[in-house]
Amino acid sequence: MKKQMKRFLRLRKDLLEAVLVCVREDAHHKHYEGQFQLEFPGVFGGFTKISLDCYVIGPSRSYRWEGDTLKECLDKAEPEIRAWIEERKEKSTSLAAR
């Protein structure tokens, strides 16, 4: 679990840095930018969940990934979030080149 929490925190840090770049370029944003929530199963089971609210990065505003473990959730969430961060970097670079 410790390894997965470090992985999650690194992803969160990278996303928040990208959000700050977006906000500097365009002040339109929501107060909840980059807000993550982790949910773990209760006594009677359920799924581990990662939720993200983010208006300035990604194709929507709210996202949710589920799995049996935190690792499984991160395996689903991380590639998507990293792709959005990369898309945003490319957009920022092309705007700066103008």
3-state SS of the chain?
CHHHHHHHHHHHHHHHHHHHHHHHHCCCCCCCCCEEEEECCECCECCEEEEEECCCCCCCCEEEEEECCHHHHHHHHHHHHHHHHHHHHHHHHHHHHC
Predicted local distance difference test score (pLDDT) of residue 97:
62
pTM above 0.75?
yes
Task: Spell out the domain ranges in the chain.
Answer: 2-84
On the question of pLDDT at 44 being above 90, the answer is: yes
CB 53 within 8 A of CB 61: yes
Residue that wins the pLDDT comparison between 83 and 92: 83
